[in-house]
Chains A and B, each alone.
Chain A
């Protein structure tokens, strides 16, 4: 097994809004090993983007990372000391300028969801790629420009040298996303966080981009955290998956295990909701209800109001995140479901359909407001 480069332990990020504290990320743990693509899957509002922003320490007011640890190749991005009364940032935590100069861009790069909004409309595409390469690598402007053109060519932009001086509005969405990938890879980071990079693209373009990333990833040996809500994308590209629900990871394991030996009802629901060639539309099972807000999460298991398998204990007992199944290669397959605990789940009767307990959708949306 290759070396672990990023280790996130019990990460907690909160947003302070007028209506109360939103626990957008509430005890998330996962890791990323050298050269692998790790998926972070869940519905909108599950806390995926907040997790990745926390990893890069890019959470802005009114949000704050309030607990947990993020360790990147032996360096502490986030770490706290417990003084007994409160948590204080640890001494070895990287300073803001260390983050900026040593981590962001040159060690961990990011690709955002919306290629239309991610490029600055008033600067040339090439100039933007060049700028980030120049900042993050020890090369001068001329080399950076050559490198930028080379990267643009590598990601499949035709006539890269000529298009270097074009502006973003002269590129299509797919082309812009390629530019962002060139930008990320051009900085030669160890880890790239791809935050739903294909969501805004149409399906054929999405396929092309996934293929491109797959090729380049192998070539450059870069690790990825791939944020998405699409299990189909996960199946295509990821090595391991973390399924998030309401600020927590509910299932984690190698992609094959997750798909074929699913241990959490939520994962199952996600899998059942994607179209597959072997099933008709009638077989699709959308997940019932909407995700409640992170301000007042349901008691017990957070998924229980929408869970088809929920039983009496699910309402009271919060499940532990623990190893749930054997895997072929020995890497852990964890899940947070009472099915795997000895709390009398199997003896209890099923819960009435939890729809009535779901928080009204409007209130959720309001609670999420502060997270933007």
Chain B
């Protein structure tokens, strides 16, 4: 029961944060000097009628705080319970409406449905790659502390945390696509699409192509995560190996192998999980760049397109959703932390 209550608690705690994200984004985007419609229509000759029509359509003729209430969806609620002045207000975020993209001429929420999965695919595979490589290497480095394997892993980790992910992406493309021609240099193949969409015949072929297309962006985005996780895994494992409970296991004849895999391993994953939660923000930022380098139509590329086309509602919507993705990611890591450490869900410490 403890874990379930903890989860619920954690979700409730994040509501003010999600609200705050909407506020900050809304304010930032509206801090732009000048009339938003003018900027939206920068490249077009627009009649005053058109401008007025657009303003009315997006509610831009209202004062800012009303615009915000509309956007959040509070106006809709107030209208629904019959508060005069709000009746007939448009739905907002709370009703699942993230606004309307002027450039794409589609609801923002619709765009999210097609743009979010590629970003999630990219991020999840990058973290999977990072964890799958960093955890064993970190453990090995801790085990062979101050031996050659340790030194090599530390140098790799150092280079990993010091290299811009988009540059790694460029280097990988130059090496594996341009020079060697082994792997495709951009775009993803989505495993949830029909194989025929890509001119493929079987499901397996589709998966194969998915993996081939995913490798380079995954490595580019995952390297930084791998390096940081490796460092923490190493130091946390070293600390854990010096703990009395590990010495006790040794004194009771537990094999080194089992100590490495169980007794020292599990407690030392706690800082690693924390780190993954903290790293989510840098990973999302990195995803924006990686999507640009590899021409992946995800959230990051959408955000940049929104900004370039002065698409206000799309910019706000994308940013808010990116913030939400992060918050949800943190909740997931917190819950897995509580799962590993029984002390957390009982509210003893954090």
Contacts and interface: CB of A to CB of B under 8 A. Distances in A.
Nearest to B250: A58
A123 B259 CA distance: 13
B198 interface: no
Interface in B327-350: 340-343, 346, 348
Given A120-B263, A123-B266, A167-B342, A100 B244 contact: no
Tell which of B250, B252, B266 has the most Cβ of chain A within 10 Å: B252
Contacts of B341: 121-122
B249 to A, nearest CB: 8
Nearest to B266: A122
Interface size of B as a range: 20 to 34
Interface in A99-138: 99-101, 103-106, 109-110, 112, 114, 117-123, 131-132, 135-136
B253 A58 contact: no
B343 A112 contact: no
A167 B343 contact: yes
Contacts of A169: 342-343, 346, 348
B342 A122 contact: yes
Interface in B115-168: none
30 contacts: A58-B247, A58-B251, A100-B255, A104-B250, A104-B251, A105-B251, A105-B252, A106-B253, A109-B251, A110-B252, A112-B248, A117-B245, A118-B244, A118-B248, A120-B245, A120-B249, A120-B263, A120-B267, A121-B245, A121-B267, A121-B343, A122-B266, A122-B341, A132-B254, A135-B252, A135-B254, A167-B343, A169-B342, A169-B343, A169-B346
A101 B255 CA distance: 9
Contacts, number: 69
A121 B255 CA distance: 20
A151 interface: no
Given A122-B266, A123-B266, A117 B250 contact: no
B5 interface: no
B251 A56 contact: yes
B244 A117 contact: yes
Contacts of B245: 117-121
A120 B248 CA distance: 10
Contacts of A56: 251
Interface in B241-273: 243-245, 247-255, 263, 266-267
A187 B252 contact: yes
A101 B248 contact: no
B149 to A, nearest CB: 16
Interface in B31-62: none
Nearest to B270: A122
Interface residues of A, number: 30
A170 B250 CA distance: 24
Contacts of B348: 169
Nearest to B246: A120
Contacts of A183: 252
B253 A117 contact: no
B339 to A, nearest CB: 10
A41 to B, nearest CB: 21
Interface in A72-115: 99-101, 103-106, 109-110, 112, 114
B344 to A, nearest CB: 10
B269 to A, nearest CB: 9
Nearest to B267: A122
Contacts of B266: 120, 122-123
Interface in A174-219: 180, 183, 187
A114 B251 contact: no
A132 B342 CA distance: 21
A114 B244 CA distance: 8
Nearest to A169: B343
A112 B343 CA distance: 22
Contacts of B250: 58, 104
Interface in A49-68: 56, 58
A105 B258 CA distance: 15
Interface in B302-350: 340-343, 346, 348
Contact of B342 (A99, A106, A121): A121
Contacts of B252: 104-105, 109-110, 132, 135-136, 183, 187
A106 B248 CA distance: 13
Contacts of B342: 121-122, 167, 169
Interface string B213-252: 0000000000000000000000000000001110111111
A196 to B, nearest CB: 12
A132 B255 CA distance: 11
Contacts of A109: 251-252
Nearest to B255: A100
Nearest to B242: A372
Tell which of B243, B248, B263, B267 has the most Cβ of chain A within 10 Å: B248
A186 B312 CA distance: 70
Nearest to B269: A122
B319 to A, nearest CB: 38
Contacts of B248: 110, 112, 118, 180
Contacts of B263: 120
Contacts of A101: 253
Nearest to A119: B245
Given A100-B253, A169-B346, A183-B252, 18 more contacts: A103-B253, A104-B250, A104-B252, A104-B253, A105-B251, A105-B253, A112-B248, A117-B244, A117-B245, A121-B267, A121-B341, A121-B342, A122-B340, A122-B342, A167-B342, A167-B343, A169-B348, A180-B248
Nearest to B256: A100
A340 to B, nearest CB: 37
A123 B254 CA distance: 15
A110 B247 CA distance: 10
Rank and list the top 6 A-B pairs by shortest CB-CB distance, nearest first: A105-B252, A104-B253, A105-B253, A117-B244, A167-B342, A120-B245
Tell which of B253, B255, B263, B346 has the most Cβ of chain A within 10 Å: B253
Interface string B56-95: 0000000000000000000000000000000000000000
Nearest to A111: B248
